[in-house]
């Protein structure tokens, strides 16, 4: 069955607030808030459909800007949600179908109950589109300097501190590097995640990024109170991550990587299909990707890309 193709717009006022509309009684998901839009009719482009829907629902004449994200969803209903930024509009929005409207500060969007497919849209508005994963240190001080330089050079706002080999062979040195990195990165406004080690995440008030192997035997008590994210390679792992209410997941590898030569990536079609199983969970694409792949990742439902590539780029 072909998914229902729907389109929605992100409309901002002069104060930067974002417009939400409440679904009216008698409709699916009545009472939930959503980004205004609707179904694409035969013969329409997504942009034409969005202009028509906003005219009919809100009484505005909109200029549609660039795409924000496309969100595939398999259940409870198969659909593809294309979301666009609205560059300009004329007239004040009104609920012409009797729907309530709300202008919401971006940081308060998560307080509004929304359909599952709108979760990644909120994440795309609020969260970074790139996640830097650190390589193994050779020289600790040089590693720290390179991390700080990479973050500053590329405007990175989210980092995963990951060095499983070094952490195992030099645990004290790794703890020192984590402590220094957390202090430095927070000073740059970076969201810090620590790979696999709940103790370090708790000690330094960072997020805990779960390895895929940790998802097979969740340790809920050990992880209690921590912000969680996860690396996933299958639908089952994505569903565990969603059940743990992870802030986001990494899914891949999408392409062959230098660290795993010969391992064939899942490709964008499989990524999109797996991603559609958990529409509520923000997902970064992982594996053989760089900044040039961000737009393509968004077309396939990703929050953006996670990579080591920005380290020396």
- The DSSP secondary structure of 259-281, one letter per residue, reads SSTT----HHHHHHHHHTT-TTS
Query: Tokens representing 138?
Result: 């050779």
137 with 63, same domain? no
- What is the domain-level CATH number for residue 91? 3.90.79.10
Query: Tokens representing 166?
Result: 């070094």
Region 95-109 average pLDDT = 97
172 with 281, same domain? yes
Which pLDDT band, with edges at 50, 70 and 90, does 313 fall under?
Answer: low
239 with 92, same domain? no
Overall domain count for the chain: 2
Among 113, 147, 178, which residue terminates a domain? 113
pLDDT confidence of residue 201: 98
Which of 307, 251, 235, 249 is closest to 281 using CA atoms? 249
Per-residue pLDDT for 22 more than 60?
yes
Domain extent, residue 226, equals 130-311
Residues within the annotated binding site for 8-oxo-dGTP? Answer: 23, 34-37
CA distance 307 to 293: 11
CA distance 40 to 69: 16
Which pLDDT band, with edges at 50, 70 and 90, does 77 fall under?
Answer: confident
Helices (H), 140-197: 140-154, 164-169, 171-187
Per-residue pLDDT for 153 more than 70?
yes
pLDDT confidence of residue 1: 65
Per-residue pLDDT for 311 more than 80?
no
**What are the DSSP calls for 57-98, one per residue?**
HH--EEEEEEEEEEEEE-SSS-EEEEEEEEEEEES----TTS
Region 51-75 average pLDDT = 95
107 with 139, same domain? no
Residues within the annotated binding site for Mg(2+)? Answer: 37, 57
Residues within the annotated binding site? Answer: 23, 34-37, 57
203 with 291, same domain? yes
Kindly report, residue by residue over 181-238, the tens digit of the pLDDT: 999 999 999 999 999 999 999 999 999 999 999 998 888 789 999 999 999 999 999 9
Backbone angles phi, psi at 106, to 5 degrees: -50, -40
pTM (2 d.p.): 0.88
């Amino acid at each position: 069955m072909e998914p229902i193709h729907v389109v929605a717009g992100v409309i901002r006022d002069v104060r930067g607030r974002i417009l939400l509309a409440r679904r009216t009684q008698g409709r699916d998901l009545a009472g939930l808030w959503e980004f205004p839009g609707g179904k694409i009719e035969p013969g329409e482009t997504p942009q034409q459909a969005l202009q028509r829907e906003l005219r009919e629902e809100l009484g505005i004449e909109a200029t549609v800007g660039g795409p924000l994200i496309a969100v595939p969803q398999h259940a409870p209903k198969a659909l593809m949600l294309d979301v666009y930024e609205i560059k300009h509009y004329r007239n004040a929005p009104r609920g012409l179908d009797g729907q309530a409207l709300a202008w919401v500060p971006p940081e308060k969007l998560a307080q509004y109950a929304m359909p599952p497919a709108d979760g990644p849209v909120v994440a795309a508005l609020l969260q970074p589109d790139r996640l830097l994963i650190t390589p193994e240190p050779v020289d600790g001080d040089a590693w720290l300097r390179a991390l700080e330089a990479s973050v500053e050079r590329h405007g990175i706002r989210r980092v995963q501190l990951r060095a499983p080999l070094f952490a195992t062979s030099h645990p004290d040195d790794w703890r020192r590097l984590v402590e220094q990195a957390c202090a430095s990165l927070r000073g740059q406004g970076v969201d810090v995640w620590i790979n696999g080690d709940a103790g370090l995440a708790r000690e330094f008030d960072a997020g805990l990024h779960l390895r895929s192997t940790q998802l097979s035997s969740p340790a809920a008590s050990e992880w209690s109170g921590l912000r969680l994210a996860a690396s996933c390679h299958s639908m089952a792992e994505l569903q565990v991550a969603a059940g743990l209410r992870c802030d986001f997941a990494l899914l891949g590898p999408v392409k062959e990587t230098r660290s795993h030569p010969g391992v064939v990536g899942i490709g964008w079609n499989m990524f999109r299909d797996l991603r559609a199983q958990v529409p509520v969970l923000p997902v970064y694409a992982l594996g053989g990707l760089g900044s040039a792949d961000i737009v393509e990742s968004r077309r396939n439902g990703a929050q953006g890309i996670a990579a080591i590539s920005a380290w020396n780029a």
